[in-house]
Amino acid sequence: MHFVQQHHDRYAIALERCKSFTFDVNQQAESLIKWEQRYNQHSSGRFSGYLDELKLGGIHLFEEFTNQTLLQQCCVKENSLWIGFSLQAQRPKINNNKIAAGQLMMRPSGVDFELMTPQDFHIFGLVLDGKSLQDEMVEFDAERWQSQKNKILVSEPNHYMIYELAKLIQLLLGNNHYAAFQNRPSDESNRSRLNKLMPLILSRIADLLAQIESGVKELQVQPQTKQKVISAVSRYIKQTNRYPLTITELCKITHVSRRALHYCFEQGLGVSPIQYIRDCRLNEIRRILLRDETEVIISDLALDFGFFHISTFNAHYKQLFEETPTQTIQRSANYKNAIISYPKAGTDARS
């Protein structure tokens, strides 16, 4: 197979980062790894397409574009799960079933299916290693997912879920220049960043997939359970001096399912567990910026606390504190020297 243009990142050793441009439908079909597939073109004209993909351990994510109508005969290899979706107005069909906006298409490995895609079509995809995904699911979530994963063809419409997945894929594909993606063998710090990044990505995917359900009644949580769960998280932070970064970690700490965890925090504190733990991390970062006498590299500090995209970190920080991290550092001297006013002798302190 000969690509007219193919690009592998110079340092893509563990990551397998690749972007390819093709001008033949058969080349396009052969581009994806871990797939058995054949494409047939069903609209007139020259074919062009591209495939932008990144393999991160047990996660293979990609964005694919094809300019012609295609009938794709597909099968995912090995112990994997394929998830596909599109944000475009024109809709694909899977096994002759039209996919509505907001729906995910899902197929396990070893199962043949047909995908009909229209002209000028973008599709996002994830191929997840079965064991990696199963390890992220906790207790009840794992049991429910195991019973559903081989049955689901399409999910119920969930626009929030697909936009969040698309945002995650675009973020990862669009920021391969970011230090965490330049896995130079000689650079121990970059490998450390990558190791921190991986569980965050997989847990975020698991969080979104845990929302796939139908006919589940509203979960009611007893007040004592809410307090027990919230206290368990606070106690863990105090005892270990570290902040959990994923929902999976929080579930293991509290011994409840993802759904129960969400209800405990939303009903008990009025915020999601992710927002709660994110705010805790932001507050700790702020304390470090205020008290640290040495020069702080903000991007490194953010990554240490699980914020792997600096602009997202800055946005969350400014939203919470109404100033940027840099402004916090610049004004730290004023915070340390608070003005204290003492009443004069013989006067009423309340006046």
The predicted-structure confidence for 10-40, as pLDDT tens digits, reads as follows 333 345 778 889 888 888 888 877 788 888 8
- Kindly report, residue by residue over 191-203, the tens digit of the pLDDT: 566 666 677 777 7
Q: Evaluate whether residue 89 is within a structural domain.
A: yes
Asked if residue 141 has pLDDT above 70, the reply is no
Check which CATH number belongs to the domain holding 321 and give it.
1.10.10
Total domains in the chain come to 3
Q: Evaluate whether residue 348 is within a structural domain.
A: no
Whole-number Å distance between alpha carbons of 310 and 295: 18
- In the prediction, which pLDDT does 309 show? 83
Q: Evaluate whether residue 236 is within a structural domain.
A: yes
Whole-number Å distance between alpha carbons of 99 and 200: 29
Domain boundary among 176, 205, 229: 176
Domain span at residue 325?
273-337
Co-location of 44 and 155 in the same domain: yes
Name the residue with higher pLDDT: 46 or 186.
46
**How many residues in total does the chain contain?**
351
- Kindly report, residue by residue over 218-243, the tens digit of the pLDDT: 445 567 777 888 889 988 988 998 88
Contacts of 45 (CB under 8 A, 6+ apart): 67, 68
- Kindly report, residue by residue over 82-136, the tens digit of the pLDDT: 989 999 988 998 887 889 898 888 888 888 888 989 999 999 998 888 777 777 7
Whole-number Å distance between alpha carbons of 231 and 265: 11
Co-location of 42 and 164 in the same domain: yes
b/e map of 231-263 (b: 16 or more CB within 10 Å)? ebbeebbeeeeebbbbbbbbbebbebbbbbbbb
> Where does residue 265 fall: left (phi above 0), alpha (psi -120 to 50 degrees), or beta otherwise?
alpha
Domain boundary among 254, 270, 286: 270
Inter-helix orientation angle 159-174/188-209, to 10°: 170
On whether the CB atoms of residues 133 and 26 are closer than 8 A, the answer is no
Co-location of 29 and 162 in the same domain: yes
> Where does residue 101 fall: left (phi above 0), alpha (psi -120 to 50 degrees), or beta otherwise?
beta
Co-location of 171 and 242 in the same domain: no
Domain boundary among 146, 176, 206: 176
Least trusted range by pLDDT, from 117-126, 156-165, 342-351: 342-351
Stated pTM of the model: 0.62
